[in-house]
Amino acid sequence: MSSDRWLIAGLGNPGSAYAHNRHNVGYWCINRLARLHGIDLKARRVAAVGEGEIDGQPVTLLKPRTFVNNSGHAVGPALRHAHIPVDHLIVLYDELDLPAGRVRIKPKGGHGGHNGLRSIVGAVGGNEFPRIRIGIG
């Protein structure tokens, strides 16, 4: 397993109709990370993907091109293809119950009713991965 590489997945809904929707904050974070660290995102069939480094750490950035509720269809195969262990997955997603801009980090846990996380947990076979909830108020 490639235990030094991390997969960072930002959840959102694809298409221009959703581009400016606050629920796409996970996509926005991936776009920002890509810009800040010179990582090119390339559109593939089920996700936009880019590989590079953040502070010397090898990363794969991923924006699923599925709707949020089906995020596991992109995240699961990406982990397996890159031989990245589940505990080296970080998921960025929106949280209505947090004030806008507030961030909460959990090292692991359940899906908390979030359908995108539920899909990912099912696709990767566990919930032993960190997640970053970003408040959208």
5 pLDDT more than 70: yes
In the chain, % of residues over pLDDT 70: 98
The C-alpha atoms of residue 29 and residue 132 are separated, in whole angstroms, by: 11
pLDDT in tens, 36-50: 999 999 999 999 999
78 pLDDT more than 60: yes
pTM over 0.85: yes
pLDDT score, position 1: 46
33 pLDDT more than 50: yes
Q: Is there a catalytic annotation at residue 23?
A: yes
Active-site residue among 20, 23, 73, 81? 23
pLDDT in tens, 54-76: 999 999 999 999 999 999 999 99
Q: How many angstroms separate the Cα of 106 from the Cα of each of 42, 52, 73, 115, 131?
A: 29, 24, 22, 17, 5
pLDDT category of residue 113 using cuts at 50, 70 and 90? confident
